[in-house]
Amino acid sequence: MQTGHLRTTLTSLAVIVAALSMSTAFADEVQVAVAANFTAPIQAIAKAFEADTGHKLIAAYGATGQFYTQIKNGAPFEVFLAADDTIPAKLEKEGDTVPGSRFTYAVGKLALWSAKEGYVDDKGAVLKANQYQHLSIADPKAAPYGLAATQVLAKLDLTEATKDKIVTGQNITQAYQFISTGNAELGFVALSQIYKDGKVTSGSAWLVPANLHDPIKQDAVILSKGKDSAAAKALVEYLKGPKAAAVIKSYGYEL
């Protein structure tokens, strides 16, 4: 009897070990280039993604235009979460993506923000009053949110009036940091950087009307280096699912 029990126990252990080995074998890492505005959402999504799939997400954050250059120079990214739809479409046209994998994962919103409570009114009149010394924006040549900021200034006929006051961050994260540290009284940021669950989390802000700039459609795509990656495919599918959608919406994006 004891021998039979021992054999049964050993067999059960062998099955468990085999299952764990298979799970580990199928789990993989995915290298992801993430537009800086999507830092907080992807960090939240990554935890759920790893728990639900076993795959590990390794993210790098930066400006979309800079990522384009890195990808063209052979960077090891397998998935690209851009801040626009132009660069992913360009990579697709140039044969650097998996055909059919591109889709819009979020539509971004632009905000004029100050770290000071009550400094920015809900109509953006502070921008036209022009009583500030520094206005922070992301580099419009590399960051879509920076480009959107310049479009807003042009629409409001403020390009000339603000040109000597603009401080430019390499990406939207640096633009945010200029404001949060007080080096700029106000500036344009991604709403997702200052918003969570229906409210602005600090300072004061004006949600810029969508008609003042081109739509900020943010596309994701599997890059050529990820064509055989199960983790890359799993991440893209996960981003289309309800759990990711709930996180994305909670940071103020539209789907």
pLDDT of 14 above 50: no
pLDDT mean over 190-217: 96
Instruction: Specify the higher pLDDT residue, 110 or 3.
Output: 110
pLDDT of 35 above 70: yes
Q: Is the dihedral of CA 159, 195, 56, 91 positive or negative?
A: negative
Which amino acid is residue 69, in one-letter code?
T
CATH superfamily of 23-107+216-250: Periplasmic binding protein-like II (3.40.190.10)
Q: Token pair for residue 212?
A: 């003042």
Q: Which residues, in sequence order, are CB contacts of 241 under 8 Å at separation 6+? A: none
**According to the model, what pLDDT value does residue 139 have?**
97
Q: Which residues, in sequence order, are CB contacts of 48 under 8 Å at separation 6+? A: 243, 244, 247
Put simply, whether the predicted model's pTM sits higher than 0.95 gets the answer no
Q: Are strands 29-35 and 79-81 parallel, antiparallel or unpaired?
A: parallel
Can you tell me whether residue 75 is helix, strand or coil? Answer: coil
**According to the model, what pLDDT value does residue 121 have?**
96
Q: Token pair for residue 254?
A: 């539209």
pLDDT of 187 above 70: yes
Cα 103-108-110 angle, rounded to 5 deg: 160
**According to the model, what pLDDT value does residue 16 have?**
42
Centroid of chain to Cα 31: 14
Residue-wise pLDDT tens digits, 227-253: 999 999 999 999 999 999 999 999 999
**According to the model, what pLDDT value does residue 27 have?**
73
**According to the model, what pLDDT value does residue 24 have?**
40
pLDDT-derived band at 5 (thresholds 50, 70, 90) equals low
Check if 23-107+216-250 and 109-212 are the same fold.
yes
The helices-and-strands tally (H runs, E runs) of the chain is: 10, 12
Mean pLDDT for all residues in the chain: 91
Residue-wise pLDDT tens digits, 83-139: 999 999 999 999 999 999 999 999 999 999 999 999 999 999 999 999 999 999 999
- The dihedrals phi and psi of 190, each to the nearest 5 degrees, come to -75, 135
**According to the model, what pLDDT value does residue 240 have?**
97
Q: Token pair for residue 5?
A: 């029990």
pLDDT of 61 above 60: yes
Residue spans per domain, the chain: 23-107+216-250, 109-212
pLDDT of 6 above 60: no
CATH superfamily of 109-212: Periplasmic binding protein-like II (3.40.190.10)
pLDDT mean over 60-75: 97
Beta bridge partners of 59: 32
Nearest to 59 by CA among 74, 73, 38, 86: 38
